[in-house]
Amino acid sequence: MFSDQSRFAINKMIKQFFKISFHAFVAFSTTSFIMILVEILLYSQIKELPEIHIGIPKSFYIFSPNEEMKYRTFLEWKYLLYDYLIFWVITFLYFQLKNFFKQKKRKHNNIKLKTK
């Protein structure tokens, strides 16, 4: 049904998609974890009960105490998806720019080699 060339291109696109998705997930998870640590550190400095908000730019998870010192948690799946998509787009743009500059450098080096 598909030629070998088109199969190769599809496989390459699928690999690129999973590569970008993996890197976006790692960046998203790392950023969220660092946010938790920073908020706990800040609340421990001012000696208050922590009310932790996780998410950039939207808070997708809120961990807050109530009057009886029982903690309530809120998870917004919609904002979790938005935040991950933002990280995915940023990671995609990073890889596109990286490939663009790599190709530009390769062309520049080829021109230098031809003129020598």
**pLDDT(115) > 70:** no
Q: Are 36 and 54 in contact (CB under 8 A)?
A: yes
**What confidence tens digit (pLDDT) does each residue in 22-60 have?**
999 999 999 989 988 888 888 778 777 777 888 888 888
Q: What is the pTM of this model?
A: 0.75
**What confidence tens digit (pLDDT) does each residue in 60-101 have?**
888 887 777 777 788 889 999 999 999 999 999 999 999 898
The pLDDT value recorded for residue 4 is 77
**pLDDT(17) > 90:** yes
CB hemisphere CA count around 38 (13 angstroms) = 9
Q: How many C-beta atoms surround the C-beta of residue 39 within 10 A?
A: 16
